[in-house]
């Protein structure tokens, strides 16, 4: 295996220097949605652990793609990796004994979520149910990736913890995503109480970092590309929505911290100090990347703006996982610098 990106290598080295993977040695781990941003980074991290730490982790990945591949990775065919082309809403047939599951499979593109609400809901909820069944069959520990969107919208900044979730307009089709995420958490929690499912729900903040594809349309990627191309950052809303963000390696450290310690329950995962509005995030990108001409231009478009989640002002309270021993390290400026350098 060869990782063709120094930033990603450095991030993985940092993760492995902070997380002890001894409990995963000679075990089998399943990663769903492996062709996605976090799924591919998790897969690469375990492959790197096998290569450098002799971890002997057997990795099974699923995605809709025929093979596991990513832009920064070359595989030589000798890895401890088995890939299954699998739509997560279909029954999962894996005969091998699975010890751990990280469930990342989910649509995330805002336009898709708005335009395909039923497929979005089915993919998340049916997919989670299929994964729960597989976890119960194998007595496996499950990480279920949820979202900060479960907290809905607030007109004023609110610090939110894991004991609450939001209320949603049931006529807004864009809400299929957060409602499905809440429902998937409910499924996991119910099976934990009735069938002894070992599960941790991770309410993940907006994740920025090396490993994402350049063509992605995430808002931070739009800001990066505008700065690199010396073009204006065009906002279709006023950019007043406030949210917490997190760097990718911090997110992976949090996920693996929970997994290697078999913690169960629900956890916010974010950098609390990196809580800012979309407008301020654009300002941070310009200040950090120092383009010659880029400025922020607001061209409010009510219809196009509907693809995004409702304006919200929330800061994720991460004291629950911090008390256990995890904390974020990378600030917003470093996020943009690392992101930019990952494409050099």
The string of pLDDT tens digits covering residues 295-314 is: 999 997 666 555 555 678 99
Q: How far are the Cα atoms of 26, 133, 241 from residue 139, in angstroms, in the given order? A: 16, 10, 41
| Sequential DSSP letters for 240-302 | --EEEEEEHHHHHHHHHHHHHTT--EEEEESEEEEEEEHHHHHHHHHHHH--SS--EEE---H
Over residues 187-218, the pLDDT tens digits come to 999 999 999 999 999 999 999 999 999 999 89
Domains and CATH numbers, the chain: 2-153+160-209+245-271+317-329 (3.40.50.720)
- pTM, two decimals, is 0.95
pLDDT of res. 152? 87
Q: Mean pLDDT throughout 288-294?
A: 95
Strands 158-160 and 242-247: unpaired
111/304 Cα distance (integer angstroms): 9
Over residues 64-92, the pLDDT tens digits come to 988 888 899 998 876 789 999 999 999 99
Q: Mean pLDDT throughout 321-342?
A: 98
């Amino acid at each position: 295996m060869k990782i063709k990106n120094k930033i990603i290598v450095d991030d993985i080295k940092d993760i492995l220097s902070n997380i002890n993977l001894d409990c995963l040695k000679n075990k089998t781990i399943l990663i769903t949605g492996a062709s996605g941003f976090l799924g591919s980074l998790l897969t690469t991290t375990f492959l790197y652990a096998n290569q450098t730490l002799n971890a002997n982790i057997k990795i099974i990945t699923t995605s809709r793609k025929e093979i596991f591949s990513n832009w920064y990775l070359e595989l030589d065919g000798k890895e401890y990796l088995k890939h299954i082309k699998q739509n997560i809403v279909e029954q999962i047939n894996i005969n091998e004994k699975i010890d751990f599951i990280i469930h990342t499979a989910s649509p995330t593109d805002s336009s898709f979520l708005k335009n395909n609400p039923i497929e979005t809901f089915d993919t998340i909820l049916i997919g989670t149910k299929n994964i729960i069944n597989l976890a119960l069959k194998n007595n496996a520990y499950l990480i279920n990736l949820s979202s900060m969107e479960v907290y809905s919208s607030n007109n004023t900044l609110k610090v939110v913890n894991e004991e609450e979730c939001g209320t949603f307009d049931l006529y807004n089709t864009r809400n299929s995503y957060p409602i499905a995420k809440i429902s998937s958490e409910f499924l996991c929690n119910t099976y934990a109480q009735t069938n002894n499912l070992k599960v941790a729900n991770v309410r993940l903040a907006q994740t920025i970092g090396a490993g994402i594809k350049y063509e992605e349309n995430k808002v931070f990627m739009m800001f990066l590309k505008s700065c690199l191309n010396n073009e204006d950052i065009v906002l279709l809303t006023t950019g007043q929505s406030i949210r917490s963000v997190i760097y990718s390696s911090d997110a992976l450290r949090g996920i693996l911290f929970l997994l290697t310690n078999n913690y169960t329950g629900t956890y916010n995962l974010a950098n609390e100090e990196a809580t800012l509005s979309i407008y301020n995030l654009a300002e941070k990108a310009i200040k950090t990347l120092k383009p010659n001409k880029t400025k922020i231009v607001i061209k409010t478009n009510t219809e196009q703006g509907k693809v995004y989640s409702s304006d919200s002002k929330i800061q994720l309270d991460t004291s629950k996982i911090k008390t256990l021993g995890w904390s974020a390290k990378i600030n917003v400026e470093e996020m943009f610098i690392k992101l930019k350098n990952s494409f050099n």
